[in-house]
Structure 1
């Protein structure tokens, strides 16, 4: 199985588990299977008090049985050697909230996610996309400023961690340029505790 197909299979397994989490919370939701809507950053439509919210689920499936304190928000990536906008500032995305799925732990002794009931526990952090972008702008990290940093990283090939003056790298975040993936994504890596502290995120499930 190719890495791409394997990732899709794992996402499908995880989504089945997530559906049971949402159902137990008695939240009205509809999972989206239409590819065009998924490409618009919509995995779920949740309805609360007769208001609908478009949710994009982002999961750390490459870090099973690990609880990372950070999450990465994509600024740009390469496709056929052409630089593309990452999902954070992609105008074609209609996302209202990101559901960041971290701390994916499997039941005792399991190392690979094969079935939805392999999962023992997860964390879900809900991030309001509009609030996040407004907060970043308020600390001088507008789309333009972040894409300027992005351009500098690509031009100078500064792979790995790139500290920036607007964020404390130990408590808040930094820019991370990944070399080992074909897409060479550049991400804004933010601490989940920081997102909650500044009021753009809440712990939805843990």
Structure 2
């Protein structure tokens, strides 16, 4: 099985596990299978008080059986050597909330045996972008930094004067990956503290 197929299999199995959790939480949801809708950043449609919310699930599937305090939000990446805007500030996406799936535990050493547990943190996309803009991390500023970083020898953790690196976050440049993504790495507890996120599972 190719790496791409393995990733799709992981996502499929995790989706089934998450659906069981959503049902336990009595969420009124529909999982999206339409590719066009998925490309707009929608994995789930969640209905609450008569209103639809578009949910994009973001899972730390590369870090199974690990509990990380942070989550990375994509600013940009390369596709076939060409620069592409990442999903965090992509206004073509219609996502209302990110469901960040972290601390993912599997039952055995093979993922096919199923998942045991995870944590889910809901992030309001508009509140997050607005907060970042208010502290001087709007798209234009981050895009300028993006260009500077990609033309330098900086990599991995890159401090920002707007954030406390060990408590709030920093930039993270993954030069070791083919797509060379530049991400905004943010602490989950900080996102909850500033009111742009909340833990929905476990309580």
Q: 141, 144, 147: which is aligned to 2:137?
A: 141
Q: How does 1:111-126 map to 2 (within 5 A)?
A: 111-115=109-113, 118-126=114-122
Q: Residues 61-111 of structure 1, C-alpha deviation per residue, up to 9 Å, x if partnerless?
A: 01010010000000000001110000001121000000000000122xx12
Task: Give the whole-Å Cα distance in 1 for the aligned partners of 2:190 and 2:143.
Answer: 21
CA contact (8 A) 1:65 1:111 kept: no
Task: Give the whole-Å Cα distance in 2 for the aligned partners of 1:174 and 1:51.
Answer: 34
State the TM-score, normalizing by the size of structure 2: 0.97
Q: Match of 1:171, SS?
A: coil
Aligned pair count reads: 202
State the TM-score, normalizing by the size of structure 1: 0.96
Unpaired runs of 5+ residues, structure 2, are: none
Task: Please name the residue that 2:162 is paired with.
Answer: 166
Task: Please name the residue that 1:49 is paired with.
Answer: 49
Task: Please name the residue that 2:190 is paired with.
Answer: 194
Task: Please name the residue that 1:66 is paired with.
Answer: 66
Q: Match of 1:114, SS?
A: helix
Q: Match of 2:15, SS?
A: helix
Q: How does 1:1-206 map to 2 (within 5 A)?
A: 1-107=1-107, 110-115=108-113, 118-206=114-202
Task: Give the whole-Å Cα distance in 2 for the aligned partners of 1:180 and 1:156.
Answer: 15
Return structure 1 stretches of 4+ with deviation > 6 angstroms. Answer: none
What is the CA RMSD across the aligned residues, in angstroms?
0.8
Shift of residue 2 of structure 1?
1.6
Shift of residue 151 of structure 1?
1.1
Shift of residue 57 of structure 1?
0.1
CA contact (8 A) 1:75 1:186 kept: yes
CA contact (8 A) 1:125 1:205 kept: yes
